[in-house]
Amino acid sequence: MGIYDYTVTDNKGQAVSLDAFAGKVLLIVNTATGCGFTPQYKGLQQLYETFSGRGERRCERRFEILDFPCNQFGGQAPGTDEEIERFCAVRYHTTFPRFAKIEVNGGNASPLYTYLKSRQTGVLTPDIKWNFTKFLVDRHGNVTARFAPTEKPEALVKEIEKLLEAP
């Protein structure tokens, strides 16, 4: 099974096949609205604005950020999906796709995250250690890198550019 075989739920309760993102470079992030790393939303939005329009034709999006709120770490993503969306839109002016709140570890972990962790393990364990862990996926659906929460979005620019330039 590959990344495009998974279906996730968006923050409005609709099923979304990741096949809809085939051919795009993806940055998949588990987020939280009440975390010390929450200001990374600003950097994520800057990445999105910088790279989402790059393509042969200006209207063709070749980069997407997929935001998966997660309340597993210190209860730092409280609220409903609607409240999280409102917070992110008002506070950080985010415009990238946001999905329903999920779990990333344990028996109720999202199958997508189980897959991501199997492709790029963390230090000592595959488990996600905190909010704002980032996975980079190339245009062919390969999970190419995993970044710790301490890696700021702006530090990923060269990796993203490399994947966007690759055939």
The residue to which tokens 């301490």 are assigned: 150
- Whether 110 shows a pLDDT value over 80: the answer reads yes
Compute the radius of gyration of the chain from its Cα atoms. 15
Q: Give the model's pLDDT for residue 54.
A: 55
88 is catalytic: no
Please give the Cα distance from 129 to 159 (Å, whole number): 22
* Single-letter amino acid code for the residue at 78: P
The whole-model pTM stands at 0.93
Cβ neighbours of 23 (radius 10 Å): 12
Q: What is the DSSP letter of 89?
A: H
Q: Give the model's pLDDT for residue 121.
A: 84
Q: What is the pLDDT of residues 63-105, one digit of tens each?
A: 999 999 999 999 999 899 999 999 999 999 999 999 999 999 9
Please give the Cα distance from 164 to 117 (Å, whole number): 23
- Whether 59 shows a pLDDT value over 50: the answer reads no
Sort 54 into a burial class: Cβ within 10 Å, 0-12 / 13-18 / 19+. middle
Q: Helices in 1-54 by DSSP H: which ranges?
A: 40-51
SS3 of 13, please? coil
Q: Which of 35, 59, 70, 88 is catalytic?
A: 35
Question: Mind listing the domains of the chain with CATH numbers?
Answer: 3-147 (3.40.30.10)
Kindly indicate the confidence band of residue 61, based on its pLDDT and cuts at 50, 70 and 90: low
| Cross-strand partners of 67 | 29, 98
Q: How high does pLDDT run on average in the chain? A: 92
| Contact (CB, 8 A) for 130 and 149 | yes
